Amino acid sequence: MNIWEVILAFLVVVLILVSLLSNVLVLICFLYSADIRKQVPGLFILNLTFCNLLMTVLNMPLTLAGIIHKNQPGGDQICHVAAFLETFLTTNSMLSMAALSIDRWIAVVFPLSYHSKMRYKDAALILSYTWLHSVSFPIVAASLSWVGFHHLYASCTLYNKRPEDRTQFVIFTGFFHTLSFILSLIVLCFTYLKVLKVARFHCKRIDVITMQTLVLLVDIHPSVRERCLEEQRRRRQRATKKISTFIGTFVLCFAPYVITRLVELSVDNIESHWGVISKCLAYSKAVSDPFVYSLLRHQYKKTWKDIINKILKRSSINSSSAGKESPRSCQQLNVVSKADRHLACTSSAAFITTSVVKMAASCVFLFI
């Protein structure tokens, strides 16, 4: 093994370990929290997590063996089954992300009718379609013997060994990536850009109310004013960062592999190391999905805090920390004079009114 092969093998090992750990954590949160199980998007996240786990346990180790031995791991039957699962799981993962984007689009753009438009029955129908869509392509490929070990990617995947089937395989590959990667990307872009449009609209409304309040409260304490302006700046960037992460990780992980598969149909001298790298990028989506869609969200963080507190036999609500908040706020109020404290109380009433509007608009960000 040369240095490149050692690096790639080490990269696959890291992907296996991190993907296995992070996806198992998502499953533990799902099983522990009744609130997460009640939510309709939980079905899509559960389906995505199972796809990532199966890919991690079944396909990544075979790719690692292919990199090390530079040959097909196991017999033909094992490789054909692995290629079937790789095609099915990759497509299912892409469509699950598209389903999650549709769910969030409905939740943000149609919040009042969300519970009538996205029920468990509707989510089950969407998942049924994703499974039917995902399994149709590997069935066709397996029936035509277009699965096997591909040396360019050091893995069991779609592969045509017969030159006489080249034209049919090119057409099949084009349809496959169009109806999996490109279709999912179009859905992601359409839905999340609609969500971003609504989020920016609510941000503008909140900014107008905040600025009007700050203008009216001329004698407001500078620290309060600065906190309001800082929160205003963070709010403008929050939705954009999240949506850029959803679409960016999808493109960054899958696009190099899909482009390589399409270029490979007409170019024969593609560097083998690049083929494996593009495959590793596709595998890395199984690593990023738990963090992008689950573990970094507030509800999952709260669930893990409860689990850790339960393990350590501590209460999830720390009464001592609640008791420290009031003295701290009193110290801040003592900075100003007695007359200023009276003005601060009057100002807080105006901010309570403003916060009601902010809380209503913040529902947009909870669904992103």
pLDDT tens per residue, range 121-154: 999 999 999 999 999 999 999 999 999 999 999 9
The pLDDT score that the predictor gives to residue 214 is 61
Mean pLDDT of 212-236: 68
pLDDT tens string 244-263: 999 999 999 999 999 999 99
Question: Would you call 233 helix, strand, or coil by DSSP?
Answer: helix
Mean pLDDT of 80-103: 95
Quickly state the pLDDT bin for 330 (edges 50, 70, 90). very low
Least confident range from 141-150, 163-172, 343-352: namely: 343-352
Compute the distance between CA of residue 120 and CA of residue 130 in angstroms, rounded to an integer. 15
Percent of the chain with pLDDT over 90: 54
Quickly state the pLDDT bin for 271 (edges 50, 70, 90). confident
Compute the distance between CA of residue 278 and CA of residue 258 in angstroms, rounded to an integer. 8
Quickly state the pLDDT bin for 200 (edges 50, 70, 90). confident
Helix %, strand %, coil % of the chain (to 5): 85, 0, 15
Q: Hey, CA dihedral for 35, 41, 44, 49, is it positive or negative?
A: negative
Domains of the chain, earliest start first: 3-298 (1.20.1070.10)
The pLDDT score that the predictor gives to residue 207 is 64
Instruction: Give backbone dihedrals phi and psi of 263, rounded to 5 degrees, phi first.
Output: -65, -35
Compute the distance between CA of residue 149 and CA of residue 71 in angstroms, rounded to an integer. 8
The pLDDT score that the predictor gives to residue 310 is 86
Mean pLDDT of 68-82: 89
Return contacts of 201-205, CB within 8 angstroms, 24+ apart: 202/361, 202/364, 203/235, 203/236, 203/239, 203/361, 205/357, 205/361
pTM over 0.85: no
Instruction: Give backbone dihedrals phi and psi of 148, rounded to 5 degrees, phi first.
Output: 165, -170
pLDDT tens string 284-324: 999 999 999 999 888 898 998 888 888 887 654 554 554 44
Angle at 45 between CA 35 and CA 198, to 5 degrees: 85
Instruction: With a cut of 60, say whether residue 35 has pLDDT above it.
Output: yes
Instruction: Give backbone dihedrals phi and psi of 147, rounded to 5 degrees, phi first.
Output: -130, 145
Instruction: With a cut of 70, say whether residue 333 has pLDDT above it.
Output: no
The pLDDT score that the predictor gives to residue 117 is 87
Write down the mean pLDDT value for the chain: 83
Angle, in degrees to the nearest 10, between helices 272-290 and 41-54:
140
Beta strands per DSSP E along the chain: 147-150, 155-158
Least confident range from 77-81, 210-214, 357-361: namely: 357-361
Compute the distance between CA of residue 94 and CA of residue 137 in angstroms, rounded to an integer. 14
Quickly state the pLDDT bin for 4 (edges 50, 70, 90). confident
The pLDDT score that the predictor gives to residue 270 is 85
Rg over alpha carbons for the chain, rounded to the nearest Å, is 26
Compute the distance between CA of residue 108 and CA of residue 362 in angstroms, rounded to an integer. 10
Return contacts of 218-224, CB within 8 angstroms, 24+ apart: 219/340, 219/343, 220/343, 220/344, 220/347, 221/335, 221/336, 221/340, 221/344, 223/332, 224/344, 224/347
DSSP lists the bridge partners of residue 362 as none
Mean pLDDT of 60-74: 90
